Amino acid sequence: MSRSKAVSHNNVDKYVQLGLNIAYYRKLSGLTQEQLAEIANISRSHLSAIEAPNIIKPFSIELLFEIADALKIDAYKLLIFRD
């Protein structure tokens, strides 16, 4: 698993779940990675890295808000982590 040095070992699972939540809501919205990335003003490869469970890709809270807006959901929904 690729992991950024800036990410605490304690937070790895949270980043994985966050990426999975983004992928879930993206698919629920019927959007491709390309479409969501375009709406959120990021590259498809950046979004792909965020969604990939084997890559830990830290990103800003601003981008979290942009993604949530693009998905037309409240940002907190992306932060609900299931066991």
- Please give the full DSSP string across 28-45, using - where no structure is assigned: HTT--HHHHHHHHTS-HH
CATH number of 10-79: 1.10.260.40
Mean pLDDT of 58-77: 97
> Residue 3: is its pLDDT beyond 60?
no
Tokens 């709406």 belong to residue = 39
Contacts of 12 (CB under 8 A, 6+ apart): 1, 3, 56
> Residue 35: is its pLDDT beyond 70?
yes
Name beta bridge partners: 2.
Answer: 55
Mean pLDDT of 30-38: 98
